Amino acid sequence: MIKTQNLWKIYEIGNEKVQVQALRGVDLEVEKGEYLAIMGPSGSGKSTLMNLIGCLDTPTQGEYYLNSRLVSQMNDDELAFIRNKEIGFVFQTFNLLPRATALHNVELPLIYNGTESKERIQKAKKALEMVDLTDRITHKPNELSGGERQRVAIARAIVNNPSLILADEPTGNLDTATGAEIMKLVDRLHSEGNTIILITHEADIAAHAHRAIHLRDGKIEQDEKVK
């Protein structure tokens, strides 16, 4: 499903254009239905790799295939289409519209791809039902707990039935008990056939995955089965 070959990302910083090698020749394959954790210390390249896999950025060098399509050479419009149709994002900071209801927040990806209103509402309600938030659909983010906000974000991530769910530190802003509940939900999504890539620096969160890669200095240092 995912294949990267010799993936590099080099940033130029400041007026003197100092080069920072965030990724250095990453080769990675992820099968459909896998549950993968990407781990590493700060500055290891895990966020950069997530941005490339999520089509939020393009590599400096190398190739990235998603579902047999070479996305590393796509233009901005093509990447936006892939992001909307193929990838569901879950962020540490939830990234919800503060003045919109839970239902409207979940509808957003469907609005962007032109889904008709009646179908859009139906799909958004179903996604919220899947994360046990049917009774909160008219609530705005400031009326929801942290765990409920992350559930809304997860509903938004799955509403398009994407081929890949990318979860970036999904429990980072939550207390331990709420974080455990969110990870149960992520585990359930995987058991229902979703391919999940989890970006985390916490070993107990990574332990939910079935495979973990460890990055250091922009390279894969270790690739191991977790369970």
The domain locations on the chain are 2-225
Task: State residue 180's pLDDT score.
Answer: 94
State mean pLDDT over 41-60.
93
Q: Per-residue pLDDT tens for 56-72?
A: 999 999 999 999 999 99
DSSP structure string for 141-195: GGGS-HHHHHHHHHHHHHTT--SEEEEESTTTTS-HHHHHHHHHHHHHHHHTT-E
Q: How far apart are CA 208 and CA 37, in angstroms?
A: 8
Is the pLDDT score of 153 beyond 80?
A: yes
Return phi, psi of residue 149, to 5°: -60, -40
Task: State residue 17's pLDDT score.
Answer: 79
Q: How far apart are CA 209 and CA 187, in angstroms?
A: 8
- Domain 2-225: homologous superfamily in CATH: P-loop containing nucleotide triphosphate hydrolases (3.40.50.300)
> Which conformational region is residue 41 in: left (phi greater than 0), alpha (psi within -120 to 50 degrees), or beta?
beta
Percent of the residues in the chain that have a pLDDT greater than 90, as a whole number: 87
Q: Residue 105 has what DSSP assignment?
A: H
For residue 218, which of 37, 74, 27 has the smallest C-alpha distance?
A: 27
Q: How far apart are CA 80 and CA 72, in angstroms?
A: 13
Average pLDDT, the chain: 94
Residues 6+ apart with CB under 8 A from 142: 98
Task: State residue 14's pLDDT score.
Answer: 80
**Contact assessment for residue 80 and residue 72, using Cβ atoms and an 8 Å cutoff:** no
Task: State residue 18's pLDDT score.
Answer: 86
> Which conformational region is residue 132 in: left (phi greater than 0), alpha (psi within -120 to 50 degrees), or beta?
left
Q: How far apart are CA 134 and CA 114, in angstroms?
A: 24
Cα dihedral 139/140/143/149 (nearest 10): 100
